[in-house]
Amino acid sequence: MMKRQIKVLVLAAGLVLFAILIGTMLKISSVETTIFPQTLGDMDLKMYIDGEEARQSVAQLHSSGERVNPGEAYIARYRNYGTDPANMADVWLSISDSDSSATSLVEIMTARMSNGMMFTRPQVRNIDGQTIYYTEGTGQFHYYYAKDNKVVWIGLSNPDTAYQEKIILIALDEI
């Protein structure tokens, strides 16, 4: 009788732990944000960071001489592990005080990157009427631009330029 009660208790505890694990996995897999879309092309939003952690991360991406202090900053990671190799996108977004401030930040970034050390020299591209800068480095293909009072930087893993442009068109529309 006692052994049976122990078995029932062990089974019940196992079911509770299993339910907690499933609940945690579901919470992690559904990322809630109104800043970024849930999908970007064929990729799903897998991680989202905002607040002080995002501000510090965005500020650390710049050299200390730029004194970047984004008022609002957001980071998103998109992934599609079903493709071979996996499609991945990392998106950094900062919101400036004004449209001209966002444009100025993009111009400063472009001027500082023109030395070609960590990234290739930025190239100007026009996609759907929007001026966008393109560069390569750190194993990704990067697009960045100012849109209204936002600065958007997107790093993509897929080397296919048609795929990249498709993702940028979606980002222009949804971010």
CATH number at residue 120: 3.40.1000
User: Do 127 and 86 have their domain in common?
Assistant: yes
User: Do 1 and 49 have their domain in common?
Assistant: no
> Which residue range forms the structural domain that includes residue 16?
1-30
**pTM over cut 0.75:** yes
User: Do 3 and 41 have their domain in common?
Assistant: no
- Could you read off the pLDDT of 108-167 as tens digits, one per residue? 889 988 887 889 999 999 999 999 999 999 999 999 999 999 999 999 999 999 999 999
User: Do 108 and 25 have their domain in common?
Assistant: no
User: Do 5 and 62 have their domain in common?
Assistant: no
C-alpha torsion angle, residues 130, 134, 138, 140 (rounded to 10): 70
Total of domains in the chain: 2
Give the closest residue to 51 by CA, choosing from 8, 100, 94, 113.
94
- Of residues 23 and 63, the one with the higher pLDDT is 63
Q: How many other C-beta atoms are found inside a 10 Å radius of the C-beta of residue 145?
A: 22
User: Do 55 and 141 have their domain in common?
Assistant: yes
User: Do 79 and 152 have their domain in common?
Assistant: yes
Q: Which of 61-65, 84-88, 125-129 has the highest mean pLDDT?
A: 125-129
Q: Residue 133 and residue 109: Cα distance in Å, rounded?
A: 10
User: Do 1 and 69 have their domain in common?
Assistant: no
User: Do 43 and 106 have their domain in common?
Assistant: yes
User: Do 167 and 82 have their domain in common?
Assistant: yes
Q: Which of 6-10, 53-57, 142-146, 158-162 has the lowest mean pLDDT?
A: 6-10
- Of residues 79 and 114, the one with the higher pLDDT is 79
Q: Residue 102 and residue 92: Cα distance in Å, rounded?
A: 13
User: Do 102 and 141 have their domain in common?
Assistant: yes
